[in-house]
Amino acid sequence: MDNLLNLRRYHRPVLLKETLDLLQLEPHLVVVDATFGFGGHGFEMAKRVDPGILIGFEKDPETYRIVVSSLPPITNIRLLNMGYERMDEGLLKVGLLSVDRVLFDLGISSFSLEGTGRGFTFRRDEPLDLRFNPNEGIPAYEFLNRASEREIEEVLRRYGEERRSRRIAREIVKSRPIRTTGDLAAIVDRIYPPQMRTKAKARVWQALRIYINDELNNLRRGLALALKHLKVGGILAVISFHSLEDRAVKTLREYPFVRALTRKPIVPSEEEIAQNPRSRSAKLRAYMKTAEVDVPSLLADERFANPFPRPRRRGRPRRRRRG
């Protein structure tokens, strides 16, 4: 138990009570926490469904290691070091293909921000990696050192809604090689006056993180798979942290296979924001599944499709995926 309480120092859960209320948990249910992190939501869900099972997905191997080593020897939690975009494979692995509840908490954990040394915060000078799983894909600095000015500009504009994307991209290309958060922060600092720098860096970091982890495609795939594996009558809850994420989640209400349980998104109280400023942009939406879902049709449907698929790398051979 002490071990579990200790995990709270790595991340404080957002909208915890509101999420648990919407999920209507009860003993014997099978539930998925698609972004287990440090279990701020997951442990509470597992407790409420016991002797049911919680299946947790966590992409970051370091977070996974810390949490697995804190789990009690007998537990109803099955934790997988795997992205939720591979939910099919994960559920097959634990032998539970149909589930009663799924939660996505899409933010970034305080640990990822401050403890991984992978450059998620511009407040420290670290290698600019930005991968949730450093064994997959390429680090952000490699992208910035190899991509064309136009590709970089497109990423900053689409995923960060950054107005000075062209200038920043030009400065990046001129200042190569980029290796650390400090290198990139210095570029943004040259372009923006002091009072605008923090927000500008937040946009640039968000854009690169989304691109490097292919977050918008993975989110759509994860949501579609969650709806496939949910039983009819099961509940999907999603906490999103910016408009590009929320757009995918919000669009689901247009489909006949769900009923929205939240007419408007639930947002944190002033008290929660005062205690945990990182919660301020959170939006919680929930749906009940009312009919079966065809994943390929949903992913191909233009209302749900990613409006900004990852820009194609022009003129270069595609990198082979490892593993």
Binding site for ligand SAM (CB under 6 A): 11, 13, 34-35, 37-41, 57-60, 63, 83-85, 105, 107-109, 112, 132, 218
Nearer to ligand SAM, 37 or 52 (CB): 37
To the nearest 10°, the Cα dihedral for 204, 154, 213, 248? 100
Nearest residue to ligand SAM, using CB? 40
Nearer to ligand SAM, 70 or 290 (CB): 70
Nearer to ligand SAM, 160 or 183 (CB): 160
Which residues have CB under 8 Å from 14's CB, separation 6+? 40, 105, 107, 239, 268, 272, 276, 278, 279, 282
Closest contact distance (angstroms) between CB of 93 and ligand SAM is: 14
**Residue 21: in which H helix or E strand, if any?**
helix 16-23
CA angle, 221 then 235 then 49, to 5°? 115
Confirm if 182 and 144 have CB atoms less than 8 A apart: no
> Among residues 218, 220, 181, 219, which one has the least CA distance to residue 201?
181
To the nearest 10°, the Cα dihedral for 44, 48, 53, 55? -30
Closest contact distance (angstroms) between CB of 96 and ligand SAM is: 17
Closest contact distance (angstroms) between CB of 11 and ligand SAM is: 4
Which residues have CB under 8 Å from 261's CB, separation 6+? 22, 235, 286, 287, 288
**Residue 295: in which H helix or E strand, if any?**
helix 295-300
Closest contact distance (angstroms) between CB of 131 and ligand SAM is: 10
Nearer to ligand SAM, 34 or 168 (CB): 34
Closest contact distance (angstroms) between CB of 16 and ligand SAM is: 7
Closest contact distance (angstroms) between CB of 81 and ligand SAM is: 9
Nearer to ligand SAM, 216 or 293 (CB): 216
Nearer to ligand SAM, 83 or 234 (CB): 83
Single-letter residue type at 106: L
CA angle, 217 then 220 then 222, to 5°? 105
Closest contact distance (angstroms) between CB of 31 and ligand SAM is: 13
Closest contact distance (angstroms) between CB of 114 and ligand SAM is: 13
Nearer to ligand SAM, 10 or 141 (CB): 10
Please name the residue ranges forming H helices in 178-269.
Answer: 181-191, 194-212, 215-229, 243-251
Nearer to ligand SAM, 57 or 287 (CB): 57
